[in-house]
Chain A
Amino acid sequence: MMMVLGLLLLLLALFGAPLFAVIGASAIFSFYMAEIDLSVMAIEFYRLAEMPALVALPLFTFAGYLLGESQAPRRLVLLTDALLGWMPAGLAIVSLAACAFFTAFTGASGVTIIALGALLYPALKQAGYPENFNLGLITTSGSLGILFAPSLPLILYGIVAQQLNLEQKITIDDMFIAGILPGLLMIVLLSSWSLWVNRAVRKPLAHFSMAHVLTAVKASAWELPMPFIVLGGIYSGFFAVSEAAAVTVLYVFVVEVLIYKEISLKAVPGVMRDSMILVGAILIILGVSLASTNYLIDAEIPATLFATIKEYISSKLTFLILLNIFLLILGAMLDIFSALVLMIPLLLPVALGYGIDPVHLGIIFLANMQLGYFTPPVGMNLFIASHRFNKPVMQLYIATLPFFFILLFAVLIITYWPDLSLVLLGR
């Protein structure tokens, strides 16, 4: 009976049923079979209103959408170019740095490819980089940066993990610190690859020009303090994450709407609405999965799962290898937010059983999901890039392949070298 229903739900999901309904249906059915009053569904869903950190989600999302609508991407590229453009493969490295920064602040919803890709793709082409390299670079960069604060997936992982009442406490701030070195590793590896691939492109190097830097700094004078205020505030402990989110919204609104006037006041409600559609789509899944998680824990399913896996896999190393493979497949099928709220309640207790730090697991999970953004056949960013640059998806599969293997290498380092994630936390 359970099996048949599970298959039926899977089929419905594959034919496009919204995931909240699929997760909701499985929770409803499980509680019904366990003869638990179904008002538990509403009670659990209502817990969305009891999570202080969750306030950050709508606020950061809105701020990210505002930034994407303004000319901030253009100024960001100008500034990064003035600072890094003189290096060999300079523009490629500029693209990586700018995209990572932008994605961290806008939350990896595909907006990076649309906002920054439109600027960088023609520029890269003009600088003489090969087409497939450019396509691969931009598509890959669309999810680069989710390991940096204040990205939404990092926040959501912290929130979901806190719901599980683990013995080892974990905060969102921990996640923000843990992501720094793994995120940098990815950028360094991709930059090295860009250098190597384009070693034949012998362009005379541009000179580093202080005058250029000053012009670029002046152009983005109002935006420059923002990352320092937000990141400085979070890392120094001055702001809670939700407060940092509120400050970011205020700052972005004042700068882009009132000072630069690049978004008219009339256009703001539309941006609000669009951004809150994404928030609603994420929160309704989070809400129903609170109920299904409650059932899982009640029925001791994570513990049973761990006992079963433990029978076949005794070593932590083998578990990690299988985890990587599993997450790669998962990332290609599910978007990062649904994957987080669905799988973390199951995976985290099992991983703890193997002695994996919950913070480390979060970084492994997100790094894997980052790959999923452009893993064929269904990686979301492949389609966004295909649509944006008018190229067949097949070409994007091929163009992203080398980048995929480089980031896969990074994911493996991140997975088997826990200290990379944990050393800054002193755990």
Chain B
Amino acid sequence: MPGETDNVARRLLKTLARIEDGMLVLLLTVMICLAVAQIFLRNFFQYGITDGDNLLRILVLWVGLFGAIVASRERKNISIDVLSAYLNVQARAIAGVVVDLFVVLVASILAYHSGRLVVDEYVAGTLALTNVPSWLVQSVLPFAFGMIALRYLISSVMHSRALSTGSRQ
């Protein structure tokens, strides 16, 4: 039954959203704790956490990408969008589908090529931190772009559904 699969899909997406939000909060918390600890240790004990600064910089990338995933889910990416206000409902849905599929295309290309980078790094075996391989750090790139593509794909389905129910009425 289509209703059944819809339900399962909806529940899956809800769980996924919770994981994304949780990761975002976790990453920022780690970043804050690490940044504060660095300052205290450096100024009072003349001591630095090994790789602390590198790890902070990597966290910026991760926080940024998880933030972008959530922004994509909630349609909060920065955009201009001045023309769609002048369209009627149906034309707006069509524009929505076109825009969504365009983002899916771009994000998929980015996901594919960052995936290639991760594989290359895996083969090369370079390290990003003392004990952390680069490919692991970079794996957030294909993951995030993949998730963004998925979100816009879902949105395009929604838009085209709105289109078909709109034309039936």
Contacts and interface: CB of A to CB of B under 8 A. Distances in A.
Interface of A: 12-21, 24-25, 28, 38-39, 41-43, 45-46, 48-52, 54-55, 57-59, 62, 242-243, 245-247, 249-250, 253, 269, 272-273, 276-285, 287-288, 333-335, 337-338, 377-378
B156 interface: no
Given A15-B99, A16-B99, A24 B31 contact: no
Given A46-B138, A243-B38, A281-B77, 6 more contacts: A17-B79, A21-B103, A46-B141, A279-B63, A281-B71, A285-B78
Interface of B: 21, 24-25, 28-29, 31-32, 35-36, 38-39, 53, 56-61, 63-72, 74, 76-84, 95-96, 98-99, 102-103, 105-107, 109-110, 113-114, 116-117, 120, 137-138, 141
A154 B58 CA distance: 22
Contact of A279 (B67, B113, B116): B67
Given A39-B120, A280-B63, A28 B106 contact: yes
Contact of A16 (B29, B31, B84): B84
B168 to A, nearest CB: 24
Contacts, number: 196
A19 to B, nearest CB: 5
A5 to B, nearest CB: 12
Given A39-B117, A48-B64, A279-B63, A54 B28 contact: no
A337 B38 CA distance: 29
Contact of A269 (B25, B59, B84): B25
A50 B56 CA distance: 10
Contacts of B60: 48-49, 51, 54-55, 57-58, 283
B66 to A, nearest CB: 7
Contacts of B38: 243, 246
Given A52-B57, A277-B71, A280-B70, A42 B117 contact: yes
A272 B35 CA distance: 16
A55 B31 contact: yes
Contacts of A57: 60
Nearest to B118: A42
List the 3 closest pairs (A to B, CB-CB), nearest first. A280-B67, A283-B64, A16-B81
Contacts of A282: 64, 78
A107 B106 CA distance: 30
Contacts of B78: 18-20, 281-282, 285, 335, 337-338
A21 B111 CA distance: 12
B67 A281 contact: yes
Given A18-B79, A25-B102, A282-B78, A249 B120 contact: no
B39 A247 contact: yes
A411 to B, nearest CB: 23
Contact of B24 (A43, A272, A287): A272
20 contacts: A14-B80, A17-B102, A19-B77, A21-B107, A24-B106, A25-B106, A42-B117, A42-B138, A45-B110, A48-B60, A50-B57, A54-B60, A58-B63, A245-B35, A249-B35, A269-B21, A272-B24, A280-B70, A283-B64, A333-B80
Nearest to B81: A16
A57 B103 CA distance: 25
Chain B CB within 10 Å — which of A41, A43, A250 has the most?
A: A41
Contact of A19 (B53, B80, B102, B109): B80
Given A20-B77, A279-B64, A273 B70 contact: yes
Residue among A15, A338, A377, A378 with the highest chain B CB neighbour number at 10 A: A15
A36 to B, nearest CB: 11
A335 B41 CA distance: 39
B32 A246 contact: yes
Contacts of B110: 24, 28, 41-42, 45, 288
